[in-house]
Amino acid sequence: MTKDCCSCSSAADELKASLAARLASNRSWSESKVKQNAEYFKGLVGISDIEVLWIGCSDARVPANELIGLAPGEVFVQRNVGNLATHKDMNAMSCIEYAVNVLKVKHIIVCGHYGCPAVRAALTLPRKSDGLFSLWIQDIRDTRDRNVEALRKVTGTAQEDRLVELNVLRQVFNVCTSPVVQQAWDSGRALAVHGLVYSLDDGLLKTLYTTDSAPHQPGAFTRSISSNSLVSGCSWNSSGRSPGSEEDEEAAAIVAEVEAQRMSIEQLAIK
């Protein structure tokens, strides 16, 4: 047997062993859940009342249901690189359609996170780079280009963090202007859309933007900077910030920048 064949065989064995370890962990997890609650899995099968659609990044460090204090089966999740929700993405749009029209969710959360590699790449990766990843993050580059002046006011990590927030707001705009959401609002559905950012440093969510149920006018946002207005008394409101804080003022400035360029009531009213 040649050296190359031996290497391939060794690599294949390692992959098999790794999968076997994961399956063993799954069995241990299943047994522990049943030990804690004999009806645990039967309960998951019976879950039909899902109130939250989460549109987030594929990053493994951002576990959707855990961040907002909900159990498996209580959050409908759409994840992709950079938490995008463009109108041309049939995956994201069909997920929104199913969540709104079939599951009848009451909340759509678009959540980004600081330290996002996709956003960092949109600032640093040349536009002519090969590969689907470079093509995928073009929407984030577009957001960068639309907000050049705002981004030039900061540098380094602060610039990256600002683009993370601007990207979330852009995706909120996309969700709110999607036909499914517009139709839900026209029909009088109580459906709120929220833009959040997750901090890997402390595990807290920051509210950038939220609609209070359906807008009062077609396409109009009701700005709510304080996280306390996300949903009063809801268990997944985890930022714990008080109105009027420095974070609120910064978030207000971010929202003003985006509204001035891309989120006017006239634009949002177009159907």
- For the chain, first and last CA: distance in Å? 66
Tokens of 147: 């907000």
Phi and psi at residue 76, to the nearest 5°: -90, 130
**pLDDT value of position 211:** 84
3-state secondary structure of 123: helix
**pLDDT value of position 122:** 94
Cα angle for residues 155, 148, 114 (degrees, 5° grid): 50
- Catalytic positions are 57, 59, 61, 113, 116
Do 111 and 198 contact (CB within 8 A), yes or no? yes
pLDDT digits (tens, 9 = 90+) for 118-163: 999 999 988 888 889 999 999 999 999 999 999 999 999 999 999 9
Task: Give the residue from 146, 159, 95 showing the smallest Cα distance to 263.
Answer: 146
3-state secondary structure of 108: strand
Fill in the DSSP letter of residue 113.
E
pTM: 0.75
Distance between CA atoms of residues 171 and 174, nearest Å: 5
**pLDDT value of position 49:** 83
Report the share of the chain in percent with pLDDT over 90: 56
